[in-house]
Amino acid sequence: MTKEMYPEFSLDFVRVTEAAALMSSRYLGFGDKEAVDGAAVDAMRGMLDYIDIKGTVIIGEGEKDEAPMLFEGEKVGSYADNAPEMDIAVDPIDGTRLVAYGLPNGIAVMAAAEHGKMSALPTFYCKKLAVGPELKGRLDINAPIRENLKVAAAVLNVEVREITVVILNRDRHKEIIDDIKTAGARIKLISDGDIAGSIATATPDSGVNICIGIGGSPEGVLAAAALRTLGGELQAKLWSQTEEERILLTEQGWDFDKVFHTEDLVGGEHVIFAATGVTKGDFLNGVKFVHGKAITESIAMRMPSATVRYITTHHDLKKKTIRLKSSSGDEKYIDIKY
């Protein structure tokens, strides 16, 4: 498909993530993860219909948590005759628990690529290694972390103690955390939301060099979409929760030793990534309610132009209406109030 067939959709996708952030923010701190996810999902589904694409959801997120979700294979967009076909990945809220309990770094996220160019992994979780442009092609997910830290330090011309590694604070990461400590590098532990952690490796002035560990496979694909534009890299390997899952997928032909690289997950030359902050974080500011307005901060990335936009939007709550659409197709319009 020619370049002309892919108009500038970045702002359209930001409107989708803004709607998800605004709706989910109504449940900030309530402790109800399902309400947070449900509000964001219905807002995304409703707003996606306004975009002139023939979209197919490849990654809907939520299944591993049995949360509300957009379903794999679901059709979204206007489906106008001349609209381009696109694959869609969404995580209506990356960090649902963070939003539910009023904690930092909750974001609404989505990505799109040319039809047939986005791949979903069969496991809910995967091993991941994310780096920015300077370390792209230099590190190896199969190598010990101490070796990767030495290589990173040499490439960046710094001491190992100046390298910062982001990793989810999980018991399964105890060994790798101990190895990072032994090597002398800095560690930034995060409770949830490793999409932002992966993107931080390719963001100037973030102070983050490497993101590593076992996290959600859908989040890995979404991070790969952002890293395509930012010039970074994501490597991933399948990780099974049970031996039964490993045996079943191996019988189906999946290779647990295979390394999936960035373009294996999100290929093609037309890639869009959009995210809006829900709670205040290192990556994006959260939704703020001030004097009858809601203020959101978003990021939009687009290939092949490698354009990255930070967007601050002031929503007049007296006039703001969001279209919601349930999985059964029921529609309604809701006024945002705080």
The range of the structural domain enclosing residue 194 comes to: 125-265
The average pLDDT across 280-297 equals: 94
CA atoms within 13 A on the CB side of 29: 4
CA distance linking residue 271 with residue 119, whole number of Å: 13
- Give the three-state DSSP class for 174: helix
135, 251: one domain: yes
252, 315: one domain: no
Strands 85-94 and 54-59: parallel
CA distance linking residue 170 with residue 160, whole number of Å: 23
215, 259: one domain: yes
The average pLDDT across 121-129 equals: 97
In a domain, 92, yes or no: yes
* Strand extents, DSSP E, the chain: 54-59, 75-76, 85-94, 107-114, 125-131, 164-168, 186-190, 210-216, 233-239, 271-277, 288-290, 293-302, 307-316, 321-325, 331-335
* 162-194 per-position pLDDT tens digit: 999 999 999 999 999 999 999 999 999 999 988
CA dist 114 to 21, 30, 53, Å? 25, 38, 11
148, 242: one domain: yes
284, 219: one domain: no
In a domain, 120, yes or no: no
In a domain, 135, yes or no: yes
State which amino acid sits at residue 53.
Answer: I
Task: Report which of residues 334 and 29 the model is more confident about.
Answer: 29
* 227-260 per-position pLDDT tens digit: 999 999 999 999 999 999 999 999 999 999 999 9
- Give the three-state DSSP class for 321: strand
The alpha carbon of 12 is separated from its chain's Cα centroid by a whole number of angstroms, namely 17
104, 132: one domain: no
168, 291: one domain: no
In a domain, 142, yes or no: yes
141, 251: one domain: yes
In a domain, 139, yes or no: yes
129, 261: one domain: yes
The alpha carbon of 88 is separated from its chain's Cα centroid by a whole number of angstroms, namely 12
- Picking from 265, 289, 304, the residue at the C-terminal end of a domain is 265
In a domain, 313, yes or no: yes
Residue 68, pLDDT score: 61
- Picking from 244, 265, 286, the residue at the C-terminal end of a domain is 265
Residue 15: is its pLDDT beyond 90?
A: yes
Residue 1, pLDDT score: 47
Domains held by the chain: number: 2
CATH number at residue 297: 3.30.540.10
31, 110: one domain: yes
Residue 207, pLDDT score: 92
* Strand extents, DSSP E, 210-254: 210-216, 233-239
CATH number at residue 186: 3.40.190.90
CA distance linking residue 24 with residue 36, whole number of Å: 5
In a domain, 295, yes or no: yes
- Give the three-state DSSP class for 176: helix
Q: What is the pTM of this model?
A: 0.94
Q: Which helix (H) or strand (E) holds 312?
A: strand 307-316
49, 168: one domain: no
- Picking from 218, 249, 265, the residue at the C-terminal end of a domain is 265
Question: In 3-66, where does DSSP find H-type helix?
Answer: 10-25, 33-48
70, 26: one domain: yes
In a domain, 94, yes or no: yes
